[in-house]
Structure 1
Amino acid sequence: MQPFPANPDSLDDPVTLVDDQGTSWVLHRKRLALRAVRRLLKDAAAPVVWGDVGGLRPRPVAEAERSLLWTRIKDEYKGPGGARSVGRYVAHEFRAEPGRRMLFIEDHC
């Protein structure tokens, strides 16, 4: 996956991510509510991307990792519904045609 010059949350629209299969994903919603993050994590049809270094270095999340992510981020989520002041994770929804959704989680370590 292509790296970002800055975290997706701070980039001007349109923000596009091209995955390893050549699919173009466009940022649809920034800073998802925590319950939306959980819903997308459970949706097997929605790919999940982990953004290391504040989202600069995205990588696809393996299926086996998905269930562990909720435990990892739920108590340190910085977006709506989370521990905003002390959190280190934020998540965004990207979309691709036709009607595909992707969850992008930024890790601000």
Structure 2
Amino acid sequence: MPEPATPPRRSPATTGHWTDPTGTTWSLRRGPLVPRRTRRLRTEAALLVLGHSAGLDPQPVTALDLAELHAPYLAYEFTDADGRAMLFLELHC
């Protein structure tokens, strides 16, 4: 009997939600963001997340220098139930 198919992995920007390693669920608020909003969220967001491989492997990071990213990206804003913001950068290599 064949094993059940694994559902395809999708970027949080595509699904519209993501649950971080602490169990907090984040919902897509807006995006792709304009550069000005991206820069602001980089310093104001409660959580910064890089999504490598077109967003398929989201990883929280503690600091982020947009100038050091050597890959094109799209930025998205997510919020949690308490209204905190998360900046998600979907990297495209």
Q: TM-score range by the shorter chain?
A: 0.7 to 0.9
| Higher Rg | 2
Q: Secondary structure of 2:29's match? A: strand
Greater share of residues in strand: 2
* Match 2:78 to one of 94, 99, 109: 94
Alignment size in residue pairs = 86
1:46 aligns with 2:46: yes
Identity across aligned pairs (percent)? 38
* Aligned 1:16-55 pairs, distance under 5 A: 16-43=17-44, 45-55=45-55
* 1:72 counterpart letter in structure 2: E
Q: Distance in 2 between matches of 1:6 and 1:98?
A: 25
Which amino acid is the alignment partner of residue 23 of structure 2? G
The TM-score normalised by the length of structure 1 is 0.70
Give the gaps of 5 or more residues in structure 1: 77-86
- Taking the aligned partners of 1:32 and 1:46, their CA distance within structure 2 comes to 17
The 4+ residue runs of structure 1 with deviation greater than 4 A are: none
TM-score under structure 2 length normalisation:
0.80
How far apart in 1 are the matches of 2:81 and 2:90?
Answer: 23
CA RMSD across the alignment: 2.0
Q: Which runs of 5+ in 2 are unaligned?
A: 1-7
2:49–2:59 Cα contact (<8 Å) kept: yes
